[in-house]
Chains A and B, each alone.
Chain A
Amino acid sequence: NAGVMQNPRHLVRRRGQEARLRCSPMKGHSHVYWYRQLPEEGLKFMVYLQKENIIDESGMPKERFSAEFPKEGPSILRIQQVVRGDSAAYFCASSPPGSSGNTIYFGEGSWLTVV
């Protein structure tokens, strides 16, 4: 049973370019979360999605960031016009339907470097 799959693992972008990070949840999981980890800090919640719906985006910056989880395919975190401050590790996590156990499982992360 494959875990949460993220790609790319490492991404380098120049300032002003776009970054797209992909996440495939664990099999049977319909809830996806994105977290950001700035250097030497803990993870901060960004967004919580279910299929075709954004449930909670209270942690997403208001501009340049967007997330989707389409009916088919992986969840995508999109960062437009990247700046140096976007350099971070972006972690996706997933959980099964319902709230039982409330344990979420993390992917290995995507490290974005903006040069």
Chain B
Amino acid sequence: GDSVTQMEGPVTLSEEAFLTINCTYTATGYPSLFWYVQYPGEGLQLLLKATKADDKGSNKGFEATYRKETTSFHLEKGSVQVSDSAVYFCALSDLGQGAQKLVFGQGTRLTINP
């Protein structure tokens, strides 16, 4: 079945550092790919998405490019802030499975120190 594998955390960086969180996937169809962010004690918020190969999703300084050849959707940000501390989830949605259900990675906890 479909699956998503994320870089294991926790990840700790200093403010203004460059961030990469790796995400790779396996899917039988042509999935859409997502990054969700979960701040402490809150629900998931959609951060960005890409629906087809070579699409780049971007939001709040974060970017991720849908790479079909490497089945990857790595999350990057050039200069992180303390407020970016959260858990980040990579996910895919494969309509070919007949339902709009998301398959999530295990999450990567990010802590940014001032």
How many chain A residues sit at the interface, stated as a range, is: 20 to 34
Residues of A within 8 Å of B93, CB to CB, are 102, 104
CB A17 to nearest CB in B, in angstroms, measures 24
A12 at the interface (CB under 8 A from B): no
A56 at the interface (CB under 8 A from B): yes
Known: A91-B43, A107-B43, A108-B42. A48 touches B106 (CB 8 A): no
Question: Chain A binding site: helix, strand, loop or mixed by DSSP?
Answer: strand
How many chain B residues sit at the interface, stated as a range, is: 20 to 34
Which residues of chain B (24-40) have a CB below 8 Å from chain A? 32, 34, 36
Q: Could you mark each residue 72-114 of chain B with 1 if its beta carbon is under 8 Å from any beta carbon of chain A, else 0?
A: 0000000000000000010001010011111111110000000
Please state if A33 and B101 are interface contacts (CB–CB under 8 Å): yes
Which residues of chain A (60-115) have a CB below 8 Å from chain B? 91, 95, 99, 102-109
Residues of B within 8 Å of A59, CB to CB, are 101
Please state if A103 and B106 are interface contacts (CB–CB under 8 Å): no
Q: Which residue in A35, A41, A99 is a CB contact (below 8 Å) of B100?
A: A99
Q: B residues bordering A, Cβ < 8 Å?
A: 4, 32, 34, 36, 42-46, 49, 51, 89, 93, 95, 98-107
For the complex of A and B, list the 4 residue pairs with the smallest distance between their C-beta atoms, beginning with the closest.
A42-B104, A108-B43, A56-B99, A106-B44
